[in-house]
Amino acid sequence: MIPMFQELLLQNERKIILMILDGLGDLPDPDKTALELAKTPQLDKIARKSGFGMTVPVATGITPGSGPSHLALFGYDPIEHAIGRGVLEALGIDMEVGEKDLAIRANFATIENGIITDRRAGRISTTECARLCKKLGAAITRVQDIPVEIKPAKEHRFVVKFIGADLNENLTDADPQKDNHAPVYSKAKNPSAAHTAEVVNSFIKKAAEVLKDEEKANFILMRGYSRNPNLQPMAERYGLRAVAIATYPMYRGLARLVGMKVVKTGDEVSDQVATLREHYVQYDFFFVHIKGTDKAGEDGDQQQKVKCIEQFDTVIGDVVTLKPDVLCITADHSTPAKLHAHSWHPNPFLLYSPYVFPEKKRFTERHCAVGMLGRLHAMEVMPLLLSHALKLKKYGA
Amino acid sequence: MIPMFQELLLQNERKIILMILDGLGDLPDPDKTALELAKTPQLDKIARKSGFGMTVPVATGITPGSGPSHLALFGYDPIEHAIGRGVLEALGIDMEVGEKDLAIRANFATIENGIITDRRAGRISTTECARLCKKLGAAITRVQDIPVEIKPAKEHRFVVKFIGADLNENLTDADPQKDNHAPVYSKAKNPSAAHTAEVVNSFIKKAAEVLKDEEKANFILMRGYSRNPNLQPMAERYGLRAVAIATYPMYRGLARLVGMKVVKTGDEVSDQVATLREHYVQYDFFFVHIKGTDKAGEDGDQQQKVKCIEQFDTVIGDVVTLKPDVLCITADHSTPAKLHAHSWHPNPFLLYSPYVFPEKKRFTERHCAVGMLGRLHAMEVMPLLLSHALKLKKYGA
């Protein structure tokens, strides 16, 4: 973002819809990508009037997680503003992290005769995890007068949050990293974290005391100490009334971190479009997050990925009837079915606006790679959306 | 510019012509751009032997004014070196701004009983403005011993320049911004601007005294305090003997800021080419600025834009007969007729040289977007022109 960016902001009634098909980008497998295989009559109609390009989420060759890839799309430098593991884990279970909170990823573990024999406590069930968190939460409500919240995640994982105390995140992990080692406690990486080290180590000891009669989960490990990155809210950064329509907690959380309103919606893409229609008057920026494509990619199921895209195609016509001034359809990162994982490949990027050169082609990776919008850094997306919505004044006379 | 750029400079007799068709880039309206619609047999012949690319003037999504877009083309960072409003306004009326001068945009205004009732003094005519400036200039030649120059611009606007006194630009505007407010005076933004604040406020009071019997224009407002950005001259930066052939004062002024010689020329493109021919021996870098395309774009008149391009086509053959070693035809920014304004779209870029991959196509936005020169930042243009003129040595052994 250029330094005087905010002085260029202009208020108007124009509306921007950013639809993220998570992990949309694919590889030919064997010959075609999911976008190339999918039958998408509605999307094709929109694509013919749209400009194409490709976005690089973080840097060439770098595979991003959901945190950095979304931050970049929202226009926040994903390298400057790292979102810590504890915060991401908290967001993933719909736990808010306030400005002065400290969020921590924790594991239940097994200790025998002073040696941690299983760092995952035999991968106890999520139900068992919930019971243990409840037990811990009932026994420990404060540590050194700081309120603490404990919330279960999957299997042996849970999240601990120290509330409002401005604790310091510069601690070493309280985790021996390998089985059959003695427990380690957190150490302050600098003097100002000394108090926090005391607090968290005291919490670990209290927890061990509460859990001492449990068969497997009689100890805890803590790591990924992190704080809310305190990002400038989108309203301030862009002058936008922004709203997120996302079903998965992590994306709702990421949207909250940049100050978006997060509204209730249903599980289906059609529910999300209904929610979009319902809130269309109150907001001027809409972030719609669709998870299915990424999930299918991670499962290595290209057919399912194709299905998700075709399902998206059944609702995209409805979105266009809202007459958005700018409609952007893209991805946060690629998740090629062939790789069963996120990848470093740039994202296909579609921009529907009266101020683009229509490509008159289908929306595919190959057509986007030679599109007139060129290759963009994901951080350039917000300025581009704002300019197409005529929300940016001229720089200099 | 890479840090050791200047060590790579090589002197030779090769000649570079940079022709800027101001605001050339267009949008399909409805289906074709001005470049696509224009009949340009001469340009087509040159284009077939030229390399194509696209340039981004400042940053993705950012619409530049003429100041930053030209600075970038000349290879000066348009963000680092902002040209203040006062300086730009001065350049626009052919007023030089020396290294130690302070240039200020001023308005005639109407004051009644201590309240500014009209910040534009009823938009008095330009002739009336000239009369008032003459009156002010006769009455006030110096303020606290600093020579002052007053020159009319359009309607109620004029420029005030304090000459050679090294005054400080860090002042707040002496302008209430809205009608029906009391006048405000400039305040120093830091202690070293305190003396300047005294000088300009004293000028305002003297001016009000001189104007007190005028019917409408009985007060003045001042804003956009700015200094010459003191840019490294092109001769020093690139080892070039550079000359500007431009009809409009602002572009002549911008060229002067980077140390180009500015020569007299006529109003027509054919006059400009005659001037180019006339000075072809003495210089090795020629900046030819053609305004018509931008004006037509601002007027939303695509047909007129087409006409300007066709008119350009009638002279470009003549330019080639000069046998320039490098001929570059591009724009500073886009001014799509559809938008009636400057825009953020990248610029079509043509490079005629024996050392390019000829595209064998017409010079259009769409062909440039997929051209072999790729997408460039405007600041990369000068190194590219120099290298094609074999004026840059190898970096490293």
pLDDT in tens, B137-193: 999 999 999 999 999 998 999 999 999 999 999 999 999 989 999 999 999 999 999
CA atoms within 13 A on the CB side of B87: 27
- The pLDDT score that the predictor gives to residue B1 is 74
- What is the band of B84 on the pLDDT scale with cuts at 50, 70, 90? confident
Mean pLDDT of A151-177: 96
The encoded tokens of residue A331 equal 């991805």
pLDDT digits (tens, 9 = 90+) for B191-223: 999 999 999 999 999 999 999 999 999 999 999
| CA closest to B30 among chain A residues | A354
Mean pLDDT of B42-46: 98
Candidates A365, A306, A301; CA nearest to A330 is A365
Query: From the CA of B217, how many Å to the nearest CA of chain A?
Result: 26
Query: From the CA of A388, how many Å to the nearest CA of chain B?
Result: 8
| Cβ <8 Å between B83 and A396 | yes
ipTM of the complex: 0.89
| Cβ <8 Å between A375 and B370 | no
Candidates A201, A147, A195; CA nearest to A173 is A201
Residues of A in contact with B82 (CB under 8 A): 4, 396
Q: Does B54 touch chain A (CB under 8 A)?
A: yes
pLDDT digits (tens, 9 = 90+) for B252-287: 999 999 999 999 999 999 999 999 999 999 999 999
B262 CB-near residues (< 8 Å, 6+ apart): B243, B244, B246, B252, B255, B256
Judged against a pLDDT cut of 80, whether residue A397 lies above it is answered with: no
- The pLDDT score that the predictor gives to residue A391 is 98
- The pLDDT score that the predictor gives to residue B82 is 84
Mean pLDDT of B43-67: 97
- The pLDDT score that the predictor gives to residue A20 is 98
pLDDT digits (tens, 9 = 90+) for A199-242: 999 999 999 999 999 999 999 999 999 999 999 999 999 999 99
Cα B11–Cα B376–Cα B370 angle in degrees, nearest 5: 120
Instruction: Write down the CATH number for the domain with range A6-81+231-388.
Output: 3.40.720.10
Distance, in Å, from the CA atom of A22 to the CA atom of A25, rounded to the nearest integer, reads 9
| CA closest to B33 among chain A residues | A357
- What is the band of B85 on the pLDDT scale with cuts at 50, 70, 90? confident
Is residue B20 within 8 A of residue B269, CB to CB? The reply is: no
Query: From the CA of B62, how many Å to the nearest CA of chain A?
Result: 7
Mean pLDDT of A294-300: 96
- The pLDDT score that the predictor gives to residue B397 is 80
Mean pLDDT of B42-50: 98
The one-letter amino acid at B276 = L
- The pLDDT score that the predictor gives to residue B94 is 87
The one-letter amino acid at B49 = K
Residues of A in contact with B366 (CB under 8 A): 357, 372
Backbone φ and ψ for A6, nearest 5 degrees, come out as -65, -25
Candidates A120, A125, A122, A121; CA nearest to A155 is A125
Mean of the per-residue pLDDT values of chain B: 96
Under DSSP, the state recorded for A104 is E
Judged against a pLDDT cut of 90, whether residue B2 lies above it is answered with: no
Q: Does A7 touch chain B (CB under 8 A)?
A: no
Q: Phi-psi bin for B203: left (phi > 0), alpha (psi -120 to 50), beta?
A: alpha
- The pLDDT score that the predictor gives to residue A348 is 98
Is residue A174 within 8 A of residue A184, CB to CB? The reply is: yes
| CA closest to A3 among chain B residues | B79
Query: From the CA of A52, how many Å to the nearest CA of chain B?
Result: 12
- The pLDDT score that the predictor gives to residue B4 is 86
In chain A, what are the helix, strand and coil shares in percent, each to the nearest 5? 35, 20, 45
| Cβ <8 Å between A2 and B58 | yes
Mutate to test the interface with A, among B54, B60, B375 (most CBs of A within 10 A): B60
Candidates B364, B369, B345, B350; CA nearest to B57 is B345
Judged against a pLDDT cut of 90, whether residue B3 lies above it is answered with: no
- The pLDDT score that the predictor gives to residue B132 is 97
Q: How many CB pairs under 8 A join A and B?
A: 84
Mean pLDDT of B4-18: 95
Mean pLDDT of B110-117: 96
| Cβ <8 Å between B68 and A376 | no
Q: Among all chains, which residue has been given the structure tokens 């003094």? A: B121
Mean pLDDT of A62-78: 96
Residues of A in contact with B341 (CB under 8 A): 394
> A297: helix, coil or strand?
helix
The encoded tokens of residue A48 equal 């013919």
> Which residues in chain B are classed under CATH 3.40.720.10?
5-81+230-388
Using CB atoms within 10 Å of the CB of residue A7, give its burial: 0 to 12 exposed, 13 to 18 middle, 19+ buried: exposed
Residues of A in contact with B338 (CB under 8 A): 354-355
- What is the band of A106 on the pLDDT scale with cuts at 50, 70, 90? very high
Which residues of B, range 19-38, sit inside 8 Å of A by Cβ? 27-28
Mean pLDDT of A261-271: 96
> Which residues in chain A are classed under CATH 3.40.720.10?
6-81+231-388
Judged against a pLDDT cut of 90, whether residue B65 lies above it is answered with: yes
Greatest Cα-to-Cα distance within chain A, rounded to the nearest angstrom: 75
| Cβ <8 Å between A370 and B366 | no
pLDDT digits (tens, 9 = 90+) for B353-377: 999 999 999 999 999 999 999 999 9
Question: How far is CA B328 from each of CA A204, B72, B73, B258, B292, rounded to the nearest angstrom?
Answer: 69, 15, 11, 19, 18
Of A372, A376, A383, the CB nearest to B62: A383
Q: Does A3 touch chain B (CB under 8 A)?
A: yes
Rg (C-alpha) for chain B, rounded Å, is 23
Of A3, A4, A384, the CB nearest to B61: A384
Question: Of all residues in chain B, what percent carry a pLDDT higher than 70?
Answer: 100
The encoded tokens of residue B41 equal 């047999």
Distance, in Å, from the CA atom of A336 to the CA atom of B121, rounded to the nearest integer, reads 65
Query: From the CA of A396, how many Å to the nearest CA of chain B?
Result: 5
Mutate to test the interface with A, among B54, B62, B80, B373 (most CBs of A within 10 A): B62
Mean of the per-residue pLDDT values of chain A: 96
pLDDT digits (tens, 9 = 90+) for B291-338: 999 999 999 999 999 999 999 999 999 999 999 999 999 999 999 999
Instruction: Write down the CATH number for the domain with range B5-81+230-388.
Output: 3.40.720.10
The encoded tokens of residue A368 equal 């986007």
Q: Does B254 touch chain A (CB under 8 A)?
A: no
Mean pLDDT of A31-36: 98
- The pLDDT score that the predictor gives to residue B23 is 98
Under DSSP, the state recorded for B84 is P
Which residues of B, range 351-390, sit inside 8 Å of A by Cβ? 365-366, 369-370, 375
Greatest Cα-to-Cα distance within chain B, rounded to the nearest angstrom: 75
Is residue A386 within 8 A of residue A74, CB to CB? The reply is: no
| Cβ <8 Å between B63 and A4 | no
